[in-house]
Amino acid sequence: MDRFDKAILNSLTENARQPVATIANAIGLSRTAVNDRIRKLEERGIIDRYTLERGDQTQAAVCAWFELTFRPFEQTKVKQAIRQIAGIRKAHALSGSIDLMLYVEVASMTELNHIRQQLDQLEHLDKLVTHTVLEQLI
């Protein structure tokens, strides 16, 4: 990854919706070159997905962390499955007794329960624990 790729990543991190032309002008490459580089970064898995982070004024009503333990843990299959579940904002594979931690933001407890039901159907799931967020301190 060269300085142009790093500049593209920095620009997309700041605003993933900005036009490619804006990025191209900022880093001194053509739109075509930036498009090609973005595509290659996606193919290599350096850019995994584009997400939305909401500000406080639109914060979800219900937030929770889910601990998941699988026997066996097939990370690739689990990753594909959880990408299909709306409301999951963060997913972290862990070392230790817990295989996966998911952070979820939804509008209601009904939606949270629906996500829990979807997670409960994942193949090889051994244990599922829900931790509802009471208050964000930091």
Looking at the chain, which residues constitute the CATH 1.10.10.10 domain(s)?
3-43
In three state form, how does the secondary structure of the chain look?
A: CCHHHHHHHHHHHHCCCCCHHHHHHHHCCCHHHHHHHHHHHHHCCCCCCCCCCCCHHHCCCEEEEEEEEECCCCHHHHHHHHCCCCCEEEEEECCCCCCEEEEEEECCHHHHHHHHHHHHCCCCEEEEEEEECCCCCC
**Stronger pLDDT, 33 or 45, i.e. the higher one:** 33
For residue 112 the two structure tokens come to: 């949270």
What CATH class does 3-43 carry? mainly alpha
In tens, the pLDDT along 5-16 reads: 999 998 998 888
Give the CATH fold of the 56-132 domain: Alpha-Beta Plaits (3.30.70)
Query: Is 90 exceeded by the pLDDT of residue 137?
Result: no
Query: Is 90 exceeded by the pLDDT of residue 32?
Result: yes
In tens, the pLDDT along 48-82 reads: 888 766 665 555 689 999 999 999 999 999 999 99
Predicted TM-score (pTM) of this structure:
0.60
* Nearest residue to 117 (alpha-carbon basis) of 66, 62, 61: 66
Q: What is the mean pLDDT of the chain?
A: 91
Return the pLDDT at 48: 85
Return the pLDDT at 57: 52
Identify the bridge partners of residue 55 per DSSP, sorted by sequence position.
Answer: none
